[in-house]
Structure 1
Amino acid sequence: MEERLPGADRLPVGRRPSEGLRLPAPDRALSSRTGYTRGTWLAVADHLLDSLGPWFTPSGAQVRLPGRGSWSGADCDGLEGYARSFLLAAFRIAATEGDDRLVERYTRGLIAGAAGEWPRLTPCSQQMVEAAAIAVGLHESRAWLWDRLDGPDQQKVVDWLSGFVGSKTWDNNWRLFQVVGEQFLASVGAPYSQDDIDSGLDRIEDWYVGDGWYTDGDGQNFDHYIGWAMHLYPGLWTRMAGTAADERLTVYGDRLRRFLEDAVHLVGADGAPVHQGRSLCYRMAAAAPYWMGMLLDASPLTPGQTRRLCSGMLRHFVDHGVPDERGLLSLGWHHHFLPVTQSYSGPGSPYWASKGFLGLLLPAEHPVWTDREEALPIDEDDQVRAMPAPGFLLQGTRHDGIVRLLNHGSDHAAPGEGEPPADHHYDRLAYSSRTGPELTADRIDNHVALVGPDGTSQRGRIRRIAVDGRRAASWWKVGASRIEVASVVLGRVEVRCVLVDGPGGVTIRHGGYAIADQQRPEATTAGTWAQTVRTDRLTSVVVGLHGYDEAGVRLGLDTNAFGPHSATPYLVRREHPGGPVLLVSAVVLSGDTVWPEALAEAIEVEVDGLRCVIRMAGGPEEAEEVVMDGGGTPAAAGETS
């Protein structure tokens, strides 16, 4: 029995489900929350791989997908399409201990590519990324593909992969591409450099910041790359290195276990990952670290929780029309949307989603596939979790399943290089599992801006103050001004205390969450509150509690990854008098009804200088007292305040 694409009747106007996607009937006994089983994962993998057929070049060495090319050029984009889909094919081959059709297809392309149709590996070239995928894929499908190649064909592949040896990579997660590439060479008896492997693994030790978190290279680079790169590749390396990895395996396992204690809170109850950071077109690749926890026996989650989380993520994207009507993964999130991508991404880039299918390496009899799904923390209670290592405060609400990431630490800025370039996916005060930032130069959502003759200010390098309990605080510089924000979580409400200290004569503008849809959200303003509501009742509200003069709603068109029509509520302080000014607001993103007037009446705020006392009806019995730093925290190393 087959089930039509889940949620097909709920797809937004103008969206069509992938024509060839046929899924097994949902198993509500085994998977009461998602209905998905191992058979569902296999069906989606098969559909993704089958849909690529028309896009292979005659030799099979490249997958030339339609769409905007990357900065690396067409030949590298074609290699990317092959390599990233080969990783999925390798997991699929291993899942059923062989698949002659896939083995033949990818073997033919492997030999032709290595013989000269692929660009050779040169220092810091994009080819290194794709070569790592090929190396991992060859290892995981070794018994059915590599071991069946004859000597001359194996040598062609070795010669191509040998471009890793002694070469240079970018000093971030790319160091791990060289590690797995050369470890594969070592595993097949080819020349390699143990020095390259050891130095790459040693280098990531410099980026370990504690609590299971790495930064991706120097600086405050925290996003999904920590899961789908910094934890994934060391885990894959241990599978390739065997007993030689035993000492590091213990360390990597302990770190992954601790990371997953935090990371489980980065996914909404509907399976949607928090929409923050770069390379979001990789989508369900965000499931990779949870599967790796099972593979390494290094997870705080039960097998049933792991499948509930990962299957929830896959179902979220399938329910939202991914893959598209052609069966392809497009550059975007729920739909093709180029502004959410980076210039390094080409049409084959989204196939890093293959990492999210890592669980297919777990055999059918593994408890992750046979145990009943179990509830995640957000399924049972509201969640507030402080993550000091990345500077995040996570706020999750059980009734609507929304996760909000309050960002007081990730700016994707290298240390000691002044203010970082503007980046929508790192410079906001908050992100969520149901919303994306407005991708316009005039930042408004989840941002405090100074608006004057020179335009709208940006949030630069994030200087941390504290992340603890239900609070987080940070500050940044805007010319001669200092902007400090403290977040306090009270149920579904975030109270934001904003201290602006600097020259007067500018307008202070503070936005809430931008919501987007196929239809224009409703917008309502009155006095010092503003509200936007989507057709499914997703609601964004800002309420001025102290210091603001008026409110408004900014409408957008084709500026948001979640839909063509977007709306952002915001607050305004018309004339900054100069010196320190403390403003207080309530910010809400909810799937339930919000009553702005009642919210304003329910929160009592007392402001005295840099001190703010907050009392909320129905909240904690004791008042929340926030004392703004006001410049008392020493600047980070190499910075001045």
Structure 2
Amino acid sequence: MERRNFIKIAPLAGLAGAMAPGKTLASAITGHTVNDTAAAGITDRQYHLNLLQRIATPVVENMSKGTLKKNMPLEKGPGYGLVVEKVTYLEAFGRCISGLAPWLALPDDVTPEGKVRKQLKEQVLQGIVNGVNPSSPDYLNFRSESQPLVDAAYLCQTFMRAPEALWQPLDNTTKANIIKELKELRKIRPAYNNWLLFAAMVEAFLLSVNEEWEPLRTMVATKKIQEWYAGDGFYSDGPQFSLDYYNGYVIHPMFTDMLKVLVDKQQGSKADYDQAIKRMQRFSELQERMIAPDGTYPALGRSMTYRTAAFQPLVQLALNHQLPEGIAPAQVRCAMTAIMKNIFEMEGTFDKQGWLQLGICGHQPEVADVYTSTGSLYICTNGFLALGLPAGDPFWSDPAAEWTAQKVWSGKRIKKDYHVNY
């Protein structure tokens, strides 16, 4: 059996640029080979960490220095319809750190991983300060265009995922600046689709830090998302169903995160939250089955340039120890590792300076949508949420395991699938 040519990965103490992108699709990940990272002498966790570090460093390092606007490229999808300079920087930073947050929330330690985590956390914190400081060259736009509502929601999700690591350490002036910017977003009318959740996430975060909030926005989002449930784990994105990955990019993760805050603050129904988790589990069960034996998945629908963010529900459930019955943490780990290798080792996924480029697997600008720019791509970090689990968690420490499609297509026993009615 041919083995993949792995990228060379520097020790965790290194920073961005340590890895060079590969040139071919993963071809050695079959039903009989589930942990090819061993061939490179690294663990799956080390692979995920180095890759997340490579993706995130250009964004958070530049943001911490006030040079994001100076250095980040402004690649745009065909027919791009926004004012890129007004939206792409908050997109990049808010989306990127929302995926980093669970890992940055782990306790400090003196391991090589811990040292890198501490450095990136300091950069993220300084970047947050710069982003809401009107005197900073990287002061982010929350007040014009509609897009900032979207990416402010990811910033709020960051704080909700790591309050002790990324909210509490901020100085009072920065906190006040953030609250002020978030309340300005109320002037933006959300679209009648998944955008209702962005408005609701902002209000849920304000509630979580005991600030004045608008219950109507969370109530409307809750009622409409429930109304748009299409069945078998899928929500419609608005009144009309679209077959795409928005259940992964936005709907399941943000809906459950918002409901969790409402329940914790005694402002929402635990029954609503429990139902949303069950539906998210069903969706994730189907997602896991859609990962092919070689670690590819169907390229369909809008926003395919968001890459690994499509699998956010699956890894978020793993992070919270809520995976559906019959899905072992190790099979999710191995499946996600295979997906990451296919995407991020392909030549062209990164440019020569280490920034992500438009595409799914490599540089494919033709697949980008009219709202997609360089900053949009950093939502992919939300496929790395399981790094918030410590190295000793079974997700990382259990032996490699085959995912469902590998079992199916190598003639092994699997669990029968059937639709659900909740």
Q: Residue 32 of structure 1 aligns with which residue?
A: 35
Q: Which amino acid aligns with 2:300?
A: Q
Identity of aligned residues (%): 23
Q: Per residue, is there more helix in 1 or in 2?
A: 2
The two structures have a TM-score, normalised by structure 1, of: 0.53
- Superposed CA deviations along residues 392-424 of structure 1, whole A, max 9, x for unmatched, are xxxxxx59xxxxxxxxxxxxxxxxxxxxxxxxx
Compare the two structures and name the one with the higher strand fraction: 1
Shift of the alpha carbon at 1:114? 2.0
Paired residues, number = 367
In the other structure, the counterpart of 2:279 is 255
Determine if contact 2:88/2:375 at 8 Å carries over to the other structure: yes
Does the CA contact (< 8 Å) of 1:179 and 1:237 recur in 2?
yes
**Residues 361-510 of structure 1: pairs in structure 2 closer than 5 A:** 361-382=388-409
CA contact (8 A) 1:62 1:82 kept: no
Cα separation, partners in 2 of 1:162 and 1:367, compared to 1, 3 Å: same
Whether 2:321 is the aligned partner of 1:284: answer: no
Alignment correspondent of 2:334: 308
For the 8 Å contact 1:61–1:79, the answer to whether it is kept is: no
Kindly state the Cα deviation for residue 298 of structure 1 after the two structures are TM-superposed. 4.1
Q: 1:297 aligns to what?
A: 322
Q: Distance in 1 between matches of 2:61 and 2:141?
A: 22
Query: Of residues 116, 121, 127 in structure 2, which corresponds to 1:103?
Result: 121
Within 1, Cα distance between the matches of 2:181 and 2:224?
A: 25
Number of the residue aligned with 2:140: 118
Higher CA-based Rg: 1
Distance 1:19 1:364, change over 3 A: closer
Pick one of 299, 313, 323 that aligns with 1:275.
Answer: 299
Structure 2 length normalisation: TM-score? 0.78
Which residue does the alignment assign to 2:25?
A: none
Shift of the 270–144 alpha-carbon distance from structure 1 to 2, 3 Å rule, reads same
Please state whether the residue corresponding to 1:320 is helix, strand or coil: coil
Given candidates 200, 210, 220, the residue that maps to 2:241 is 220
Q: Could you say what secondary structure the match of 2:132 adopts?
A: helix
Match of 1:50 in 2: 57
Q: What aligned pairs does 1:128-167 form with structure 2 within 5 A after superposition?
A: 128-165=149-186, 167=188
5+ residue gaps, structure 2: 9-15, 22-32, 109-113, 412-417
**C-alpha displacement of 1:343:** 1.4
Match of 2:18 among 17, 20, 25: 20
Describe the SS at the equivalent of 1:180: helix
Distance of 1:264 and 1:84 partners within structure 2: 23
SS at match of 2:165: coil
Is 1:334 the counterpart of 2:361? The answer is yes
Residue 89 of structure 1 aligns with an amino acid whose one-letter code is: L
Aligned-pair distance for 1:296?
A: 5.5
Displacement after TM superposition at 1:149 (Å): 1.8
Cα separation, 1, equivalents of 2:350 and 2:209: 36
Tell me whether 1:77 sits opposite 2:88 in the alignment. Answer: yes
Tell me if the contact between 2:60 and 2:127 (Cα under 8 Å) persists in the aligned partners.
Answer: no
Which structure is richer in relative contact order (CA contacts within 8 A, separation 6 or more)?
2
- Partner deviation per Cα, 1:83-142 (whole Å, 9 max, x = no partner): 2222233233124547443233233332332233222346x7100111011111122232
1:60 and 1:105 in contact (8 A); partners too: no
8 Å contact from structure 2 (residues 233, 282) kept in 1 = yes
- Give the structure 2 partner of residue 571 of structure 1: none
One-letter identity of the residue aligned with 1:72: V
Conservation of the 8 A alpha-carbon contact between 1:164 and 1:182: no
Secondary structure, in 3 states, of the residue corresponding to 2:355? coil
1:131-183 superposed Cα distances (whole Å, 9 cap, x missing partner): 01111112223212321222222111111111344752011111111122111
Q: Unpaired segments of 5 or more residues in structure 1?
A: 10-17, 24-29, 383-397, 400-468, 470-641
Q: Secondary structure at the match of 1:106?
A: helix
Partners of 1:296 and 1:63 in 2: how far apart?
Answer: 41
Q: 1:352 to 1:20 in 2, by over 3 A?
A: same
Pair 1:109–1:67, CA change in 2 (3 A) = same
Secondary structure, aligned partner of 1:336: coil
